[in-house]
Chain A
Amino acid sequence: MSRIDLETLARVAEGDAAPEEIRAVERAARSDESMRLTLEQLRAVLPSEAAPELPEIVVPETLHAHVLERAESAGIIARADEIPHDLHSDVVERLASEGLVAAEASSRPLRGQWAYRVAAVLLVGAVGVFVGIWLAPPRTERNYVERDVPVVHTRVEERIVEKTVIHRIPDVVVETMVVPEPRELVVERERPVESIVIREVPVEKIVERFVPAPGMEVVDASRLQRWDFERGFWAPIESGEELAAGTILRSRGSRAILTAESGTHVLGGELYVVRDAHRLAPVPPPLSRALTTTTNVGESALAKTQVPQLLELWSTGSRGDRSRAQRALETLWRDLGDGGGIAFLSVTGEGRGEPPRTLRGWREWWERVR
């Protein structure tokens, strides 16, 4: 049996165990004699219904006296050999109560003499007051009659009562706070549109316009010819004539001199074109070949055999070459006719229509007239 079981028995002996636990222990105790004896011992050694019995303790004989001495030293009671301060009065009272001494008289002889003197003074004073009242002049007599007066009405009155209240001022708490220095804070906001103003603003537009270059004013060009695009032949140049830019020149011989206002130019056997008032430039070879085969004034117009070169110039040349080939072909077109179906109109020149403007048109024309 373990100690836990012994504690269970102790709980049963105390009556502190559960009912089923008590029943189980009692069943076991009926079959186990030693357990029953132990249970009885547990109940007997500390009964739950009575105070336990303990060995008697003998109080030391001197302890009571020592306690009183401690009480004396602590000032709780007076020492045994001291005379109490009121012992004398208590003894006199006791003697008086026994009739052995007269109360008050024996102990206080001097007090009686002083009492007689005070009484005599009071008596003289009282006689004086009485005489004074008797000799005083008569006064108006007032009779006060006490009677019950009914309450007629009750007046309610409010009064302001000032009450002094003492307020306790709480302790002032001083707290030091570090305040940061103010800083400038910039807040950006969009300004709202208040009104819309429409104003006309003059705008200068630069327009590029090509101005024809100034022509070359001729002073002397007796051995030179210029190509007349309108009539389609080489025309002589007269003094004082102004050669516009783009005019094609040629010399009658292998060499010629052009004297102009801007200066003197020496020309070779090839064609030249007037660039501006000061400059001359050789004509490109294709056009040069076409133009060198033309006749002078009085000679027949452009040769029919030159048409293929003109068509080639038209197709491969620059813009200027194309315009020159166009003018040469138009001259041939007027000379040779259109080659269309109406021969009469082609002869008379009426109803001929307009010359071709495209390379295809010129090729078709050439197929008709060659």
Chain B
Amino acid sequence: MSAEPEHRDTEEPTFDLLLRAISGERGAVSELTAMFLPRVYGLCVRILRNPALAEEATQETFVRALKALPRLRSPERFTGWILVIASNTARETLRKEPRTHSLESEPAAAQSTTDESDARKVALDHAIGELAAEERALFLLHSVEGVSQEQLAHNTGKSVSSIKSRLHRIRNKVRVAAVGFLNRGEAGWLGGTGEA
């Protein structure tokens, strides 16, 4: 069984900052928003595959989070909390606009590059886009954003073991799709089977 992947350092907001944001202090709200805007927007874009809808979902995410902030029980888990809100909001947006995904998919995969690292990124982004919305959100929250399996289990109402096995299946699926995307058109080990 693989270990938990290391993620970027999560900077949790200070308790004082959260209190000031709860009191409606504009500066605190602005600071909090600026701190989490890239991650919230990035998550929304990767789930929705549409920048315009992602902007709308990002705004809605912050409004919901700031309204629900007084009810936050564990301020030290603010990051995971707001990312789960962003994921749910993005999926709601996707349900309201189901056609948007097929029309404007793969915002980053359209780029052509010769760099191997960039190619892997594009392939991975393509593979994520191939997932179903729920699987995509689960993968991004855990494997990309680093939300713990326990918190995901708590938010989805499922057991940790169920989340864990499901994440393994999703990760394998992403790997297969990404490698297929990388090797498309090549007569390599895949034999040009057109996996992509």
Which residues in A have their C-beta under 8 angstroms from that of B58?
A: 63, 67
Kindly identify, within residues 42 to 59 of chain B, every residue whose CB is under 8 Å from any CB belonging to chain A: 42, 45-46, 51, 55, 58-59
Kindly identify, within residues 32 to 72 of chain B, every residue whose CB is under 8 Å from any CB belonging to chain A: 33-34, 37-38, 41-42, 45-46, 51, 55, 58-60, 62-63, 66-67
Which residues in B have their C-beta under 8 angstroms from that of A68?
A: 26, 29-30, 33
- B157 interfacial by beta-carbon distance below 8 Å: no
Q: Does A55 contact B121, Cβ atoms closer than 8 Å?
A: yes
Q: Does B176 contact A35, Cβ atoms closer than 8 Å?
A: no
Which residues in A have their C-beta under 8 angstroms from that of B66?
A: 71, 74, 76
- A50 interfacial by beta-carbon distance below 8 Å: yes
- B168 interfacial by beta-carbon distance below 8 Å: yes
Neighbour of B124 across the interface among A10, A15, A50, A54, CB < 8 A: A54
Q: How near does chain B come to A306, taking the closest CB pair, in angstroms?
A: 142
Q: List 11 A-B contacts (CB under 8 A).
A: A1-B190, A37-B189, A38-B188, A38-B189, A45-B123, A51-B146, A52-B144, A53-B121, A57-B46, A64-B37, A71-B29
Known: A32-B189, A76-B67. 20 other contacts (CB 8 A): A3-B176, A6-B176, A10-B172, A33-B189, A48-B5, A51-B146, A54-B46, A54-B125, A54-B144, A57-B38, A57-B42, A57-B45, A59-B42, A63-B58, A67-B63, A70-B59, A71-B33, A77-B24, A77-B26, A77-B29
Which residues in A have their C-beta under 8 angstroms from that of B33?
A: 64, 67-68, 71
For B176-192 the 0/1 string (1 means CB < 8 A from A) is 10111011000011110
Which residues in B have their C-beta under 8 angstroms from that of A14?
A: 2, 168, 171-172, 175
- B195 interfacial by beta-carbon distance below 8 Å: yes
Neighbour of B120 across the interface among A35, A53, A64, CB < 8 A: A53
Kindly identify, within residues 58 to 100 of chain A, every residue whose CB is under 8 Å from any CB belonging to chain B: 59-60, 63-64, 66-68, 70-71, 74, 76-78, 80
Which residues in B have their C-beta under 8 angstroms from that of A31?
A: none
- A46 interfacial by beta-carbon distance below 8 Å: yes
Neighbour of B5 across the interface among A3, A42, A47, CB < 8 A: A47
Q: Does B176 contact A7, Cβ atoms closer than 8 Å?
A: yes
- B162 interfacial by beta-carbon distance below 8 Å: no
Which residues in A have their C-beta under 8 angstroms from that of B7?
A: 51
Which residues in B have their C-beta under 8 angstroms from that of A67?
A: 33, 37, 58-59, 62-63
Among residues of A, the one whose C-beta sits closest to the C-beta of B64 is A74
Chain B's interface size range is: 35 or more
CA distance A146 to B7 in the complex (A): 74
Task: State the A residues within 8 Å of B (CB).
Answer: 1, 3, 6-7, 10-11, 13-16, 32-35, 37-38, 41-42, 44-55, 57, 59-60, 63-64, 66-68, 70-71, 74, 76-78, 80
Kindly identify, within residues 1 to 36 of chain B, every residue whose CB is under 8 Å from any CB belonging to chain A: 1-3, 5-8, 24-26, 29-30, 33-34
- B132 interfacial by beta-carbon distance below 8 Å: no
CA distance A129 to B37 in the complex (A): 72
Q: Does A34 contact B179, Cβ atoms closer than 8 Å?
A: no
Neighbour of A49 across the interface among B2, B38, B118, B191, CB < 8 A: B2
CA distance A44 to B7 in the complex (A): 16
Q: Does A45 contact B124, Cβ atoms closer than 8 Å?
A: yes
Q: Contacts A10-B176, A54-B124, A57-B41 known; A64 to B34 CB distance under 8 Å?
A: yes
Q: How near does chain B come to A84, taking the closest CB pair, in angstroms?
A: 9
Q: Contacts A3-B195, A63-B58 known; A15 to B2 CB distance under 8 Å?
A: yes
- B122 interfacial by beta-carbon distance below 8 Å: yes
Neighbour of A42 across the interface among B122, B175, B191, B195, CB < 8 A: B175
- B111 interfacial by beta-carbon distance below 8 Å: yes
CA distance A32 to B191 in the complex (A): 13
Q: How near does chain A come to B130, taking the closest CB pair, in angstroms?
A: 13
Q: How near does chain A come to B40, taking the closest CB pair, in angstroms?
A: 9
